[in-house]
Copies of this chain bind each other. A is one copy, B any other.
Amino acid sequence: MLLYLDDIAPGQRFNGATRIRIGEERIKTFAAEFDPQPFHLDEGAAEASIFRGLAASGWHTAAVTMRLLVEGGFKPAGGIVGAGFDELRWPRPVRPGDELRVESEVLEVRPSKSRPDQGLVKLRTTTLNQDGEAVQISVGNVVVPRRRKL
């Protein structure tokens, strides 16, 4: 069901059913294209780094999180369009073989003053690994249309 601003309230939760496994090869090919640093590319170098082992780029985790969100239950009419983030952090590295899923909670719903046909939903999304440990926490603002008055 497509959601309009009028359907959304603080405290609502959306948990994604999808899990995505992050393989070692994709960690390395993503990093080679977008974040070519030794601790994302090579086990030996990664052991000696702050990560103490191969870790996915945070941007890889962020991109996979977006996929999980798009496949999850939070389906605003007009799509998931991010106006920006108030917070984005990676409390724990993503390791080869980790299986990620997302949980989201609505923190705030704000109708726009200048655009009566839309508003912003502030959503906290936690990306969890197979052990239930948070690997990414974000607080973002999503542009959501209002239901048209007939």
* Residues of chain A whose beta carbon lies under 8 Å from any beta carbon of chain B: 30, 33-39, 49-51, 57-60, 62-64, 66-67, 70, 78-90, 143
Asked if A88 contacts B84 (CB within 8 A), the reply is yes
Asked if B70 contacts A59 (CB within 8 A), the reply is no
**Bound state CA distance, A44 and B129, in angstroms?**
37
Asked if A50 contacts B143 (CB within 8 A), the reply is yes
Instruction: Indicate which residue in B35, B80, B89 contacts A63 across the interface (CB closer than 8 Å).
Output: B35
- B-chain residues with CB within 8 Å of residue A143 when the two chains form the complex: 50
Given known A59-B63, A66-B57, contact A80–B37 (CB-CB < 8 A): yes
- B-chain residues with CB within 8 Å of residue A38 when the two chains form the complex: 79
Asked if B66 contacts A34 (CB within 8 A), the reply is yes
Asked if A88 contacts B89 (CB within 8 A), the reply is no
- B-chain residues with CB within 8 Å of residue A87 when the two chains form the complex: 84-86
**Bound state CA distance, A49 and B79, in angstroms?**
9
Q: Report which residue of A38, A87, A88 has the largest number of chain B beta carbons within 10 angstroms of its beta carbon.
A: A88
Asked if A70 contacts B37 (CB within 8 A), the reply is yes
Given known A33-B67, A62-B62, A70-B35, contact A50–B81 (CB-CB < 8 A): yes
Nearest-Cβ distance from residue A113 to partner chain B, whole angstroms: 18
Closest-by-CB residue of B relative to A136 is B84
- B-chain residues with CB within 8 Å of residue A78 when the two chains form the complex: 49-50
